Structure 1
Amino acid sequence: MEELRETRIAENMSEEEEDARAEVDIWTYVFGFAEMAVVKCAIELGIAEVIEGHGTPMTLSELSTQLGCEPTPLHRIMRFLVHRRVFKEKFTSNGPSGYALTLLSSRLMKHGKRSMAAMVSLESSPVMLASWNSLSACVQANGPYPFKAAHGEDVWSYATGHPTHSKLISDGMACSATKA
């Protein structure tokens, strides 16, 4: 269905418009990893939990103090996450704009009912990302699956010898199994 929509859009575009769109798409691919990295950062910092614990929207200053981090880089992270609708900006009780949870950010809490934080942590781990870097070599050589090409064994054998990764897998699978 999406391909059909894309074809219709492309048929109605001029060559210049199509070229401009292609450039935007390429830049999206180039920096596609950044979205996952920023979401992982939000999970590791516990931003959603801190805002939830506060009970009302938090200013950048309040959030920075609670997290123990500098406001400038945090502001960049929050601006990105607001743009992606992970958090939203709302006025606080004393006037200035602050950050509030959305349904999306509630899924980033490590222990929330519908949390996907463990799955993000698993899929963004260096072990799992290494598999993606082996994809083209596997396709060219009609070789083993990318995980095996990157690590010399399948994911389950690897997990047996690496308890930390095994826990990431277990936690990731548990969070996707408990969605309701």
Structure 2
Amino acid sequence: MESNEASLRDQEEIWKYMLNHADSMAIKCAVELRIPDIINSHGGPMSLAQIAAAIPDTSSPDISCLTRIMRLLVHRNIFTAHQS
């Protein structure tokens, strides 16, 4: 029984590190895409399409990837979501 509990604790620790890495990568992506600056300069809530259109890059971002990044960051309370 103790070995099962130890195994579960070990798995929990591994998952914690993996998820922390995903959080760090999502934050890194948001910063590199300048999403905080885009939202701040807009002065209020923006739709995902507005954020994507304002990203200063020569190519438009993959909206499904941007959706996943923003969903994770909203879940972690880094950004907030507003329903329109």
* Alignment TM class, shorter chain as reference: 0.7 to 0.9
Matched-pair identity in %: 37
1:30 Cα deviation from its structure 2 partner: 3.6
More strand, by proportion:
1
With over 3 angstroms needed to count, the CA separation of the structure-2 counterparts of 1:18 and 1:89, relative to structure 1, is farther
C-alpha distance in 2, partners of 1:90/1:77?
16
| Match among 42, 46, 58 for residue 34 of structure 2 | 46
CA offsets 1:124-146 (integer angstroms, 9 cap, x no match):
xxxxxxxxxxxxxxxxxxxxxxx
The AA in structure 2 aligned to 1:45 is: L
CA offsets 1:60-105 (integer angstroms, 9 cap, x no match):
11111111422111001101111111101123xxx2xxxxxxxxxx
Alignment of 1:1-180 (within 5 A): 19-67=7-55, 68-91=60-83, 95=84
Taking structure 1 as the reference length, what is the TM-score of the superposition?
0.38
Alpha-carbon RMSD = 2.2
Taking structure 2 as the reference length, what is the TM-score of the superposition?
0.75
1:20 Cα deviation from its structure 2 partner: 3.4
Unmatched 5+ residue regions in structure 2? none
